[in-house]
Structure 1
Amino acid sequence: MLPAATRGGAPDAMAQARAALRDVVPRLVALVRSAPDANAASVGTWTVGDVAAHLSHVFHFDTNAVAGRPILEAMVTKTGMAGVNAKMLAEDGERDPAVLADRIDMLANEFDDVASRARAATVTWLQGVGLPPSAVACHLLEECLIHGHDIAKATGRPWSIQRDHALLAVEGAVLPLIGALPPTAFLNQEKAGSFRARFELRLRGGERATMNFDRGSLTLDAGCARDVDAHISADPSALMLVFIGRQGIWKPLLEGKLTAWGRRPWELARMLTVISPP
């Protein structure tokens, strides 16, 4: 069981997520609109136009989830989501940054309107997972932060991720999703099969949680723990970029944004090869 703040279920979590989105989305829309080349390589095989189109799809299905409308069917694994995302991109031919910027802006306003009226304790998200509406809003925030980073890096433009926004994304979305999805969802099963370790994660400015890796499964416990292989202190922004594979481990380690200590701190590097977010 995770604490309320970590489950994305705190009374003001939705208000915080909506406020963060109202801060981030205008910068994201301006970034997309200013992209000089929609065909510029961005992340993986995706172009800048692909990333922007994908973002609009995320706004659409997260809005449907919070509104209680039917949502797409998908297995929330790296492979499952890659297939769904590829299908949606193939069916959506729009790649003009200006058009997609307008679309994201419109969808963001729709999401905020729907979120302002959300009263259900839980809503149905991908793979039939039940989540607080605030966790869906925090997931949308995470997508905006990560893909804003992708577009900015591809276009040579600045993109800042505030600590409180990243903390909301990790505590309000990433950890609740790890807790709600099957314990295999966030792992590379080929690499995780023999891995066993326990880490106490200390988010700077936030809560603590214990991550339990046990031969292909990942589960979470609330709070601090004594019998762990390593303690991890992490700046939320750095942790998010490292976990999602947008940044290597060494730069945040050298900058002090990520530190590990305990009886087996080197297992942090192995853990990052095992983690495979959808």
Structure 2
Amino acid sequence: MSVTPNQWRRVRTSVPVVLGRLLDLVEDAPPDRAATAHWTVADTMAHLCGVAAMGLSLVRGAPPDLPVPGLLDLRRRTTVDTISVMNAEVLRHFTERRLPVLADRLRADVEEVLRAVGETGPEHEVSWLGGARLPVTGLLAHLLNELNIHSWDIARALGRRWIVDPADAALFVDLFLVDMTRRSYGRLLDRDAPARPGRISVNFRHPFGPEVTLALVDGRVSVEPPDPRPDVRLSFDPATFTLMLFGRVHRVRAVLARKLSVGGRRPWLLPVFLRTMRMPS
């Protein structure tokens, strides 16, 4: 098994805890308050409802309970660079913006997701965006990260502070990012630019799990045994790292705060690696 019993227990425990904090946060929030450059608080909650609904559909093996024409085909064709298109389509057709209604739906769907994955077990695999292969542990880690990232957005809009537990953020790195790469990320990282020839190895190190090496070889990323002399060595606080990956924290700020350190034989190759191993921001 690629997931430990502690990770399996933690991800199922953390999702409802973070959800509860989010629901407390939005209970008296103004729905029209801008949470991001393009989304209000209500839009952000509707987006999270869409994430939970699609996750539940994957675990159940049924179409998502969302009024979006052609959503299954759109999900299959989606890449990192077109996730915004899919998100926009979901928000365009899923028009509910009443916060109490959205909160009730999100709570109910997350409860169903947790119940469903409890029945399947941690190694049950689903076909995710772009044909990526993902175990349900990774699906939960992604849901947990979405709850944290967008709660951070809402809290900032309300003038409040949102704390991301670094042990929870580590689950996103280990169970989603690394495990999906190990299995297959399908077309998720496809891009129009020509593939860079050669090999770049990057070691990822954080306090909550073993060091992992990801290697970019001729345009494809794979998980390799730990490289004793990697091109790039990343040591990081997982909470800061995930916020940085999704454009909420600048890389320079993370380095200056000593939440991210970059070393290795050829650390200047990190931006090249991240142009392929990227996240939507």
Q: With the length of structure 2 as denominator, give the TM-score of the two structures.
A: 0.84
Corresponding residue of 2:134: 131
Deviation, structure 1 residue 166: 0.7
The alignment partner of 1:213 has SS state of strand
Which 5+ residue runs of structure 2 have no aligned equivalent? Answer: 65-71
Q: In the alignment, is the contact (CA less than 8 A) between 2:165 and 2:239 conserved in 1?
A: yes
Corresponding residue of 2:166: 163
What root-mean-square deviation, in Å, do the aligned CA atoms of Structure 1 and Structure 2 show? 2.6
Q: In the alignment, is the contact (CA less than 8 A) between 1:183 and 1:218 conserved in 2?
A: no
Deviation, structure 1 residue 59: 0.8
Map 1:1-278 to 2 at 5 A. Answer: 4=1, 7=2, 9-36=3-30, 38-70=31-63, 72-73=72-73, 74=75, 75-119=77-121, 121-126=123-128, 127-182=130-185, 185-186=188-189, 190=193, 193=196, 197-222=200-225, 224-278=226-280
The alignment partner of 2:279 has SS state of coil
**Larger relative contact order, structure 1 or 2 (CA cutoff 8 Å, min sep 6):** 1
Amino acid at match of 2:7: A
Corresponding residue of 2:68: none
Which segment drifts farther, 213-222 or 164-173? Answer: 213-222
Q: In the alignment, is the contact (CA less than 8 A) between 1:49 and 1:96 conserved in 2?
A: yes
Which segment drifts farther, 187-196 or 129-138? Answer: 187-196
Deviation, structure 1 residue 91: 0.8
Amino acid at match of 1:91: H
C-alpha separation in 2, matches of 1:194 and 1:150: 38
Which 5+ residue runs of structure 1 have no aligned equivalent? Answer: none
Aligned length: 270
**Taking structure 1 as reference, are residues 182 and 172 closer, same or farther at Cα in structure 2, changes over 3 Å only?**
closer
Amino acid at match of 2:204: L
Amino acid at match of 1:171: D
Deviation, structure 1 residue 10: 2.9
Q: In the alignment, is the contact (CA less than 8 A) between 1:34 and 1:97 conserved in 2?
A: no
C-alpha separation in 2, matches of 1:188 and 1:247: 24
Amino acid at match of 2:91: L
Q: With the length of structure 1 as denominator, give the TM-score of the two structures.
A: 0.85
Deviation, structure 1 residue 18: 1.0
**Taking structure 1 as reference, are residues 120 and 183 closer, same or farther at Cα in structure 2, changes over 3 Å only?**
closer
Which segment drifts farther, 128-137 or 189-198? Answer: 189-198
Deviation, structure 1 residue 115: 2.4
The alignment partner of 1:103 has SS state of helix
